[in-house]
């Protein structure tokens, strides 16, 4: 029993989806702790369960519905249990209608995390769900409390929302229009992280290359990288994600020039077929994509290029799919997140004809993955014998006797070594390569 008079109860936080949600969950945790809630990893002892949800694919929503059913049953033994649902699902009207039918007490959106204390207090006093979701984004709210995961590597939002309206994608509907944080706010946040001992930051935005549009102060993404590179104490800078249409020479030069900016660019290709790219409203061709990635390889030696690919988009023929396979062979991605197209109500692609049957989507995904895994393995094997600079992150999840670390190109390297190396940059020699990770040995200095 906690005797602190401010104690409000125990909360359990479930996070689904992308890094934006991981970061939002840190803010939700900060807000709840400010209210006197204490975290618990045990769902059954929670007084408040918060779902931070994702809508990007059908499967992401389904996971949430399944878990909501399970958590709803806990109310039988604990009638005072509060269930709150926020995140991208809450932004969608059709989903909200379904949520209201479940035993949910609070529904909040992606634009009003800061209202949580008010919503929770209201839910304690009234029967029936408290629903507060804004369709439109307001001004950026700075200086919210936050309870960061970890103490080494931090996510830092540089912008919110998306204006691209790729025809398959729900994100512009759940996250609102694109807006950039002011450079000064970003820099002071990272300076504070550095003072707290963080070594690495990942700058987050749906399309970081368009950072700075609409700001009074002139500062584009390459300028921002330059500013962050100067912050003492920060040793590695990462960013995600880049849109192929907006990768400028200036950005590639900035990655090459700034020592702390890691040689890793995540640039979603989505498809290798011009016909499909057009139907996706992506705004580039396969030729453009190839030219940009070749330029990255030329200007940033050893760079890792990773991507997202969707198979089975409406109208994708076998020959369109072969164009994607061909691009995977040409670009030779270091890693790829691959997805079956999932129809999202409200997006332009949902109304396109020629939706692809599930068995064909599934079979294309398997063929694509097989190709990509073999390429990733070949690239990893080519690293055997090389010496890599790694940031030691902690104990390996699969083998607690070993340490886990990451190369500048975002590859996981497992090795044996003393725990006091955690948080340090060291050199390891790669001794063995697998498809998704590497094994290494410390290089004696």
Whichever of 56 and 368 has its CB closer to ligand SAH, that residue is: 56
What ranges in 271-336 are assigned the alpha helix state H?
A: 274-279, 286-299, 318-331
Cβ 37 to ligand SAH shortest distance, Å? 30
Burial 257-287, CB ≥16 within 10 A → b, else e: ebebbbbbbbbbbbbbbbebbebbebebebe
Whichever of 12 and 264 has its CB closer to ligand SAH, that residue is: 264
Do residues 320 and 278 touch, judged by C-beta distance below 8 A?
no
Q: Which does 29 bind (CB under 5 to 8 A by kind): ligand SF4, ligand SAH, ligand F3S, none?
A: none
Q: Which does 165 bind (CB under 5 to 8 A by kind): ligand SF4, ligand F3S, ligand SAH, none?
A: ligand SF4
Q: What are 110's two structure tokens? A: 């992606």
Q: Which does 409 bind (CB under 5 to 8 A by kind): ligand SAH, ligand SF4, ligand F3S, none?
A: none
What residue ranges bind ligand F3S (CB under 6 A)? 17-18, 20-21, 54-56, 88, 170-171, 174-175
Task: Indicate whether 339 belongs to the interface with ligand SAH (CB under 6 A).
Answer: yes
Sheet holding 153-157, edge to edge: 153-157, 200-204, 236-240
Q: Where in 55-74 is the site for ligand SAH (CB under 6 A)?
A: 56-57
Q: Which does 17 bind (CB under 5 to 8 A by kind): ligand SF4, ligand F3S, ligand SAH, none?
A: ligand F3S
Cβ 260 to ligand F3S shortest distance, Å? 26
Residue span binding ligand SAH (CB under 6 A) among the ranges 41-49, 319-327, 341-349, 416-424: 341-349
Helix (H, G, I), strand (E, B) or coil at 332: coil
Burial 2-27, CB ≥16 within 10 A → b, else e: eeeeeebbbbbbbbbbbebbbbbbbb
Give the C-alpha separation, 293 to 271, whole Å.
14
Q: Up-side HSE of residue 288: CA atoms within 13 Å toward CB?
A: 18
Q: Which does 344 bind (CB under 5 to 8 A by kind): ligand F3S, ligand SF4, ligand SAH, none?
A: ligand SAH
Look at the alpha carbons of 69, 74, 75, 81 in this order and tell me if their dihedral is positive or negative: negative
Cβ 22 to ligand F3S shortest distance, Å? 9
Q: Which does 172 bind (CB under 5 to 8 A by kind): ligand SAH, ligand F3S, ligand SF4, none?
A: ligand SF4
Largest CA distance in the chain: 67
Task: Indicate whether 361 belongs to the interface with ligand SF4 (CB under 6 A).
Answer: no
Per CB under 6 A, residues contacting ligand SAH are: 56-57, 168-169, 171, 206-207, 241, 243, 268, 270, 308, 310, 339, 341-342, 344
């Amino acid at each position: 029993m906690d005797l602190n008079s401010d104690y409000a109860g125990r909360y359990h936080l479930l996070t689904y989806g992308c890094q934006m949600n991981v970061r939002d969950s840190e803010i939700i945790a900060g807000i709840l702790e400010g209210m006197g809630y204490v975290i618990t990893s045990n769902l059954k002892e929670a007084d408040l369960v918060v779902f931070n949800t994702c809508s990007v694919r059908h499967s992401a929503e389904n996971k949430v519905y399944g878990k909501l059913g399970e958590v709803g049953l806990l109310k039988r033994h604990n009638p005072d249990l509060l269930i709150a649902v926020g995140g991208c699902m809450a932004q969608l009207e059709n989903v909200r209608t379904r949520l209201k039918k479940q035993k949910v007490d609070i529904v909040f959106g992606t634009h009003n995390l800061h209202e949580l204390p008010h919503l929770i207090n209201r839910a304690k006093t009234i029967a029936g769900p408290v629903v507060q979701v804004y369709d439109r984004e307001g001004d950026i709210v700075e200086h919210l409390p936050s309870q960061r995961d970890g103490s080494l590597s931090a996510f830092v939002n540089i912008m919110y929302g998306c204006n691209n309206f790729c025809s398959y994608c729900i994100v512009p509907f759940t996250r609102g229009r694109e807006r950039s944080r002011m450079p000064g706010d970003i820099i002071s946040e990272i300076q504070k992280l550095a003072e707290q001992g963080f070594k690495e930051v990942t700058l987050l935005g749906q399309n970081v290359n368009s950072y700075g549009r609409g700001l009074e102060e002139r500062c584009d993404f390459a300028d921002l990288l330059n500013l962050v590179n100067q912050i003492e104490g920060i040793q590695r800078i990462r960013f995600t994600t880049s849109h192929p249409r907006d990768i400028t020479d200036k950005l590639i030069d900035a990655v090459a020039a700034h020592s702390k900016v890691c040689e890793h660019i995540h640039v979603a290709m989505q498809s290798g077929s011009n016909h499909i790219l057009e139907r996706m409203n992506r705004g580039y061709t396969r030729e453009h994509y190839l030219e940009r990635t070749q330029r990255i390889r030329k200007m940033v030696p050893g760079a890792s290029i990773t991507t997202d690919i969707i198979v089975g988009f409406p109208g994708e023929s076998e020959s369109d799919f072969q164009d994607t396979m061909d691009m995977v062979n040409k670009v030779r991605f270091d890693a790829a997140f691959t997805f079956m197209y999932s129809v999202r109500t409200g997006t332009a692609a949902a109304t396109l004809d020629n939706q692809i049957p599930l068995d064909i989507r599934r079979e294309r995904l398997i063929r694509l993955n097989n190709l990509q895994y073999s390429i990733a393995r070949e690239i990893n094997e080519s690293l055997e014998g090389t010496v890599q600079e790694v940031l030691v992150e902690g104990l390996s999840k699969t083998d607690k006797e070993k340490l886990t670390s990451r190369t500048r190109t975002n590859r996981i390297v497992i090795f044996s070594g003393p725990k006091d190396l955690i948080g340090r940059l060291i050199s390891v020699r790669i001794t063995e390569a697998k498809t998704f990770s590497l094994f290494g040995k410390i290089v004696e200095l």
